[in-house]
A and B are shown apart, each in its own frame.
Chain A
Amino acid sequence: MGKIFFYVVLAVVMVSGLLFAPEHAGLAIHPMDQFVVSSMFGDHVGMFSITNATVWLALAVLSTFALLVLGSSRRAIVPGRAQSVAELTYGFIYKMVEDVAGKDAVKFFPYIMTLFIFILMSNSLALIPMSFSPTSHIAVTAILAALVFITVTVVGFVKNGVGFLGLFWVSSAPLPLRPILAIIEVISYFVRPVSHSIRLAGNIMAGHAVLKVFAGFAGALGLFSFFPIFAITAVYALEVLVAFIQAYVFTILTCVYLKDALHPSH
């Protein structure tokens, strides 16, 4: 009896969905609109104008401040919630730096922590609807990756001198192969910042574009929009995961590169 009732309701929903679908149900999906940088005051985007990117970067700074400074301001021996999160983040990154990059990389810990907390905060804030995601922009991630690349290269040469070039000379390989491997190593070394930046930007951009596409479907399908809304829910959950994982991956790759700079021997 209940089954029949269920099917009747389903049929009514489907028919009404067909009948009352919006007349103008064209697919008006503009998934890239959310990434537009626009000035908050006036029309012109100059170097110093306050844009939506600026606002969300500032929010990232504020949430960092709230979590790490206000959260730990009580200095409790038995930590509260915010302080626990702050301490967990600290311990997580500290252990990562120590384990992956080595004990002597600990002096780079504030730098790596800055990268991690910035990427994590802007990724997470970007998941708020109608927000702007700075990390989806190649310009931003390219600067982050370039900073890492320059730091690593400079540290490598300062620490090891010319010996840093040994990173490209695979001494464990047979001699005739080594020049070829050296070329490959050099190329892969210079591709690092590219993949480093595009991985982050691409992941965030792709996730948000997918969300937008499903949202467009929801707008076009009328009563059937609950299917895309379910999909949005699922993708959103995935994006929460991705927001953290990309910050983690960016940070751990930084540690790996730093390890190469500090200990270039293969």
Chain B
Amino acid sequence: MASKTTETAHGAAEAAHGGGSAMPQLDFSTFSNQIFWLVVTLVVIYLILSRVALPRIAAVLAERQGTITNDLAAAEDLKAKAVEAEKAYNKALADARAEAQRIAAETRAEIQAGLDEAIAKADAEIAEKTAESEKAIAEIKAGALESVAVVAKDTAAEIVTALGGKADADGVAAAVTEQMKG
């Protein structure tokens, strides 16, 4: 085989090999062999690819695409859920705040009402006491005025007597009453 190779490489082989070219590519005696095996190779590769490899890779790629799409959809879903949860949380928070305010307002109103009532009561008591006191004062005043009139009459009669006059009880009383009015 080695000697044949060498011969083919040198042009000298041409006569020995019946016109075989020095360029192996132009050695037509090998063409049928090459073409036959090439066609076999191509058919085998085509069958491998179209029956097994390509459908499988396409399926894997499609599956991956599907998985990615599903995962993205799931992520989108979860995100929506999270947004919803946040909304619910915010709503609950707002509700609680409103409730707290309501309770505070109620309590305040209650306290205010109690307070008002107490104040009103106290006011009434105070007013009553004031009225009573005023009445008492008025009584005392009246009493006092009366006493003043009696004392003034007595005093006037005494003074008149002391001055040597004769005390007329009715005249003194009228004069005193006249003086006290003025």
Instruction: Check A224 for interface membership: any CB of B closer than 8 A.
Output: no
Interface flag for A229 (CB, 8 Å): no
**Is there an interface contact between B49 and A114, defined as CB atoms closer than 8 Å?**
yes
Within 8 A of B (CB), among A37-66: 37-38, 43, 45-49, 51, 53-54, 57-58, 60-61, 64-65
Contact A53/B9 with A32-B24, A69-B53, A205-B25 known, Cβ cut-off 8 Å: no
B25 lies within 8 A of A114 (CB):
no
| B residues less than 8 Å from A47 (CB atoms) | 32-33, 36
B25 touches A53 (CB 8 A): no
Q: Which residues of B have CB within 8 Å of A48?
A: 33, 36
* Extra 14 A-B pairs, beta carbons < 8 Å, given A69-B56, A90-B57: A33-B5, A36-B8, A49-B33, A53-B33, A53-B37, A57-B37, A61-B44, A76-B60, A86-B53, A110-B49, A114-B42, A114-B46, A139-B30, A140-B35
A79 to B56, CA, bound (A): 13
Q: Answer whether residue A137 sits at the interface, using C-beta atoms and an 8 A cutoff.
A: yes
Closest B residue by C-beta to A40: B1
Dominant secondary structure at the B interface = helix
Q: CA of A87 to CA of B29 in the docked complex: distance in angstroms? A: 40
Q: Is A68 positioned at the interface, with any CB of B under 8 Å from its CB? A: yes
Q: Are the CB atoms of A68 and B53 closer together than 8 Å?
A: yes
| Interface class of chain A by DSSP | helix
Instruction: Kindly provide the distance from the CB of A209 to the nearest chain B CB, expressed in whole angstroms.
Output: 11
Q: Chain A contact residues (Cβ within 8 angstroms of B): what range?
A: 35 or more
The answer to whether A57 and B41 have CB atoms under 8 Å apart is: yes
Query: Can you show 21 pairs from A to B with CB atoms below 8 A apart?
Result: A33-B8, A33-B9, A36-B8, A36-B24, A37-B27, A47-B36, A51-B34, A57-B38, A60-B45, A61-B41, A64-B49, A68-B48, A68-B52, A72-B60, A73-B56, A90-B58, A90-B61, A138-B25, A139-B25, A139-B30, A139-B31
Knowing A87-B57, A87-B60, A110-B46 touch, does A58 contact B41 (C-beta < 8 A)?
Answer: yes
Q: Which chain B residues border A4 with CB–CB below 8 Å?
A: none
Question: Does B181 make an interface contact (CB < 8 A)?
Answer: no
Point out the residue from B33, B44, B49, B54 that lies within 8 Å of A45, measured CB to CB: B33
Q: Does A117 contact B (CB under 8 A)?
A: yes
Taking A33-B5, A140-B38 as contacts, is the C-beta distance between A111 and B59 under 8 angstroms? no
Q: Using A118-B41, A134-B38 as known contacts, say yes or no to A45 and B9 having CB atoms under 8 A apart.
A: no
